[in-house]
Chain A
Amino acid sequence: MKRIALISTLFAGVLLIWGTRDFPSWGDPNAPASRHVSPTYIERTVEETHIPNAVTSVLGDYRGYDTMFETVVIFCAGIVVISVLRRPDA
């Protein structure tokens, strides 16, 4: 079992490293992740929302829907742990 695990891990690792041939270089300002909507977030965060912290303004204002469902996720995790572990008082 451990030999199969080791072989499949090495195979997956080689496959992933071969797949990083298409990635942009480290520190490239023209990477596709930094080009479409992220420059508008950085340039317009202070004048549109008066918040100098770009991460908080994206988290709370431009992408506020995701943060709401994330709060629901952690609330559900708390509820699940309560319902699995607590026993009713007998």
Chain B
Amino acid sequence: MEAILSEIIAKYNYWIYVVLMMVGFYAMIGKNNLVKKLLGMNIFQTAIILMFISSGVKKGGLIPVLDKQAALEHGVNSALINNPVPHVLMLTAIVVSVSVTGVALALMQRIYRRYGTLEENEILEKIDR
């Protein structure tokens, strides 16, 4: 019991993001409308980004923007400053998410012009006919 409680306290942030990821995952595979699937993918990507950012936090850490005078005079202790590398990688991930959303919405407009509907089962019927 003590082991489970200490495990929950140490890692509950990852569990919250896993729950958010599963919400997005269910929307991607369980819904019929194409726009709802796209929103599910967006929720999934946001959960991944938040999980990476939270994995680089240190206890009692300051933000990675240093003070130039203090850093030039007497150095910086890297155990007290949060990790800047996940922030950099997640900037790329946010830009990729925006690009994929834009292209998906453009494709959805063409699908609507061609088939007249945005429900997946109706589109599959019209293709099979």
Contact = CB atoms under 8 A, between A and B. Distances in A.
Interface string A59-90: 10001001100100110111011001100000
Contact-size category for B: 35 or more
Contacts of A9: 22, 25-26, 29-30
Contacts of A73: 95-96, 99
Contacts, number: 146
Nearest to B64: A54
Contact of B95 (A25, A38, A70): A70
Interface in A34-73: 34, 37-39, 41-43, 45-47, 50, 52-55, 58-59, 63, 66-67, 70, 73
Contact-size category for A: 35 or more
A37 to B, nearest CB: 8
Contacts of A23: 11, 14, 55
A76 to B, nearest CB: 8
A55 B102 contact: no
B107 interface: yes
Interface of A: 1-2, 5-6, 8-10, 12-13, 16-17, 20-21, 23-29, 31, 33-34, 37-39, 41-43, 45-47, 50, 52-55, 58-59, 63, 66-67, 70, 73-74, 76-78, 80-81, 84-85
23 contacts: A5-B29, A6-B26, A9-B26, A9-B30, A13-B21, A13-B22, A17-B14, A27-B59, A31-B55, A33-B56, A34-B83, A42-B78, A43-B76, A46-B76, A50-B68, A52-B66, A53-B64, A53-B66, A74-B99, A81-B102, A81-B106, A84-B103, A85-B110
